[in-house]
Amino acid sequence: MDSYHFSSFFLCMITGFLVLIPPYFSTTLASAAAATPQHASEPGAIETGSKNYSKVCDAARFEALGLRKDDFAYCDSSLPYPARVKDLVGRMTLAEKILQLGDRAQGVGRIGLPKYGWWSEALHGIAVTGHATYFGDVVPAATSFPNVILAAASFNESLWKKIGQAVSTEGRAMYNLGHTGLNFWSPNVNVVRDPRWGRVLETPGEDPFVVGRYAVNFVRGMQDVEGTENVQDLDSRPLKVSTCCKHYAAYDLDNWFGVSRLHFDARVTEQDMVETFVRPFEMCVKEGDASSIMCSYNRVNGVPACADAKLLSQTLRNDWQLHGYIVSDCDSVEVMHERLKWLGDTAEDAVGQAMKAGNYCIVGLDLDCGLGNLNYYENYTLSAVAQGKVRESDIDNALKNLYMVLMRAGFFDNIEAYENLGLNDICTKEHIHLAADAARQAIVLLKNNLTLPLDPKKHKDVVLVGPHAKATKAMIGNYEGIPCRYVSPLDSIAKDVRVDYHEGCDVHCRSSRSIRPAVEAAKKAEATIIVAGLGLEVEREELDRNDLLLPGFQTELINRVAEASAGPVVLVIMAGGCVDVSFAQNNPKIGAILWAGYPGQEGGQAIADVIFGRHNPGGRLPLTWYKNEYVDALPMTSMQLRPNDQLGYPGRTYKFFNGTSLYPFGHGMSYTQFSYSRKNDSGIFLPIKVDNHHLCKLPSDKANATVDSHCPSISVDALGCKEEMSFEVDVTNVGKVDGDDVVLVYSKPPKGVADAPLKQLVAFQRVYVESGKTSSVKFSLNACKALNLVEKTAYVVLHSGEHAIVVGDGDSAVSFPVEIELQL
């Protein structure tokens, strides 16, 4: 989505203002606002006449329209939301209804319904992308947190939720000031299948469980209203703001050697769909109560995702019970008609296919987002009804889904707890501190030969080199807002040591001519810090990568500067996707390597804190870092995750990759060392009673056999699945530095189960342990959730036999068996 170019253009228009923003904003934002023009006579979310109002159902607002609020049942707060929405939709003519189906809803003045902009973004802070959000007059900035791929590396669920809470507070404050809507089309929960994908930086990585847990926590942080988190009637549960999990489904290719997301047909097995591609969306809906889902541009097995009845009505609405609306990735309906020419349909056919991607009781696509002035729903639905291709009841159902969400979010009544949020709640010191802490927690130490942390008393003169050494805008990645401030690596490192700065080259690094001054400076310095990597010039929406290498002459820059350096050399990589830095890993002159992702507005401070030892790094890689040869082994268009021996394709992600990586999933070092142990070294035995042998399933590779007295496996849907596995792991800090450790828990299948993952992550916790101390970490896992496998037939099954639980990676890992006995 949705439009990278839209956000880039807007940034260019206001960058001059942006660089003048002072460092701290709790007071300076107010003064900046006072010096700039107001959007209307006074702040407020809903502009009516010459005034702004905080809610639709304001008696004074209706009076200004020449109406009486009490005449409209949709404003009667004593009625349940469904009754109010039914009244609202029932008052509209067919033509009026259709004008509410686009992301810039036109409103109906004669019944008091205002215009509404549905499209805002908040991937890692309130973004400039979208028709409903803007900065520059009353609100000059908002807190910019690390991009998602780096935040995910913290493996800290409470942190993810806190980020969501902070972003939604700023979003709600901006809404009160009339600068954004209540619907934010975030997060991006597509699994990273291929390292070349340009949007890796937007996602939580390659593991569907991690992606799902990130989604649940971020969505809960954004949406939950304190005190109502456990309200069982989801149609009445209020929303702080509304979120949207996207892009559904099997979308992870943008533009690779001419293969475009607008035309790509993702040929996916049902096994991979259930196991990987839709799992985060299921968690987002069922555990996070996401109030919106965005369907993607691509086709899935021949059918456009936004017209796929199985994906939309059957799965989202029936199986998962989505309480919310479905929106198209922008212009997806137009793409179906104009680009794909799917089924040779007319524009009216395309509207009907999308809206009726379900049955006549449950609508498919509710809302059509359009980038330009042509919105297919608004322009072609009336004629589609006239031609008998859409029922008016389909439109009614779509509008009910949309306005139920706005009811829950307080568009009509406001929510008292948030009525007074305003400028002083944006760019607060607490949010700025959280942004810095998030980056610190997430930075990953990839290599360290006793080089880090640097002692600024011993290394007082440092040469700082590289295209990102002075990074500002590059640190915030895409789907970016206007940050409260920028703290570059140069800004922060210069507070600790004397810095001699040399760029060396820009990100593209098309020439080696400017490398020499950096080399000469390195000869004289007591330490060298190189900040290199990728940028939106190389990876972003609509721009996939062709290889995993650093661009241009960056590798030469790093090697020459390292070779000339008189003191220790630290390499910092700023990138979303993985980068093959084998040359640096194998170069003894380069003593340490850090991965800093795109660390947000406070990124420079976080990097300096790690380099100089004020923070002990504890981040872990949320995706495998492959060597560059990986991309030569298979095309990006191959969707299969398991190895394809016939074609010689390796597996994808740590679950199926059968080769050697540069850094594995979960890799991350520390300035200290941790050891694991279990208080109880014995395994776990779980007998599970199966009431009916007909429920037992044979492995799919033995489909023609029959079940005897032994039950080899059973669909988890047929079990109560109440069996729990509880265990404790002692984490001991055996080093000399206090620090955080991420405890990763994997399950491994019984031997002999065909086509199973090598291992799969089932739990994780981040724990702080002081030097010389031990912390006990408790886990309680549902057997069906932790040990299930997805068969080729797409059944999710629990196998009999000896599974294994593995805690940690490498030599420090501990494991124990879990015996599952399915008893007939």
* Catalytic residue positions, numbered: 329
Q: Which long-range contacts (CB under 8 A, 24 or more apart) does 707-712 make?
A: 709/824, 710/800, 711/800, 711/822, 711/823, 711/824, 712/799, 712/800, 712/822
Closest CA to 256 of 56, 690, 546, 683: 546
Asked if 54 and 176 count as a contact pair (C-beta separation under 8 A), the reply is: yes
H-assigned helices in 537-581? 554-564
Neighbours of 286 (CB within 10 A): 15
Can you tell me which residue has the tokens 């594995």? 664
Asked if 522 and 475 count as a contact pair (C-beta separation under 8 A), the reply is: no
| Amino acid found at 662 | L
Neighbours of 282 (CB within 10 A): 19
Helix, strand, coil fractions of the chain, as percent rounded to 5:
30, 20, 50
- Per-residue CA distances from 727 to 155, 743, 760 (Å): 20, 13, 18
H-assigned helices in 636-757? 653-656
Q: Provide the token pair at 391.
A: 């029922």
Asked if 551 and 522 count as a contact pair (C-beta separation under 8 A), the reply is: no
Sheet strand arrangement including 814-823: 684-689, 814-823, 801-807, 739-748, 760-769
Q: How far apart are CA 450 and CA 648, in angstroms?
A: 40
Q: How far apart are CA 243 and CA 129, in angstroms?
A: 15
Q: Provide the token pair at 491.
A: 């800004």
Residue-wise DSSP of 183-202: EE---B-----STT-TTGGG
Query: Per DSSP, what are the bridge partners of residue 685?
Result: 819
What is the enclosing helix (H) or strand (E) of 769? strand 760-769
- Per-residue CA distances from 368 to 379, 416, 721 (Å): 11, 31, 40
Q: How far apart are CA 196 and CA 256, in angstroms?
A: 9
Q: Provide the token pair at 782.
A: 């549902």
